[in-house]
Structure 1
Amino acid sequence: MKLACSSLLLPVLLVGFVHAQTNSLKQVVGATEVVYLEEANLSFKARVDTGAKTSSIHAEEIVVESSGDPQGKPITFYLVTKDGQSRKIETHVTSVVKVKTAEQSEYRYVVPLLMKWHDSRKTVFVTLNDRKEMEYRLLLGRNWLHGDFIVDVDKNNED
């Protein structure tokens, strides 16, 4: 019996050890964070949303430089912080996605942006959206979290 218990317990301990090792490599982020966007030279107060698959950012004056399928085409837009700082961004459309909101479904352009949080830098695909009425103009979804971060909802880091 002693041997049977220990052989059953070993896989559980190993799984727990692997899980602990995996999480120990990830940084802990709070429900809100300040993230620096390198292309814009701007910092945004951001809401971390584990329910959102893709990150989203407030953008104004969005112009795709050509007609037809926008994928791969040049795009320009302005990123505007809550306090009114604005920067023009020029990049390429990665894709167009259909996003379901509480009110409706809409199509949004997806673009890559280089984000920095503490010592972590990563390029993240974000949807461009009108978030001017939102408290947080940057929403960090699971695509930003994936592989690097875990969320502690009791932690807030907006300063």
Structure 2
Amino acid sequence: MSAGSEEPAWRRRYPVRPFIAASAAVVRDGRVLLAARGQEPMRGIYTLPGGQVEAGETLAEAALRELHEEVGVVAEVAAGLTPLEVIERDADGVVLHHFVIHPHAARWLSGEPTTGPEALDLRWVTAEEAHALPTTKGLHGVIAQALAVIGDGA
């Protein structure tokens, strides 16, 4: 999220509506950039850089903004990919979190990824290497889609 517009994570608990997010599956030399989440929920789990869409921002703009803010990488979007839904319920079955995430296949342009508060670790991985990591649900399908769109990133 952009500075100044960040809301506390607790405000996203027990939502009255789904939150819309966007992410970027950045491909460079046949590898995809994954980030280990620095914040709860799912701290330490590998996923794509991304975050909430701000009012007035397209999904692609949000994905690229979040990519740059979180890890310092610049990319160009090649295609939108199949959206994912993350719905978590508490012990009573009440919706605790609900996010609709729109991933994008993107080509790396510049910047070497750097860790920070939102990314504990960063790795360029092949689709096969991603299977050895703890990842968010649906990530492997998104990686396959991105690699099918971008190819080897050349």
Query: TM-score under structure 1 normalisation?
Result: 0.31
Larger Rg: 1
User: Larger % of strand: which?
Assistant: 1
User: Larger % of helix: which?
Assistant: 2
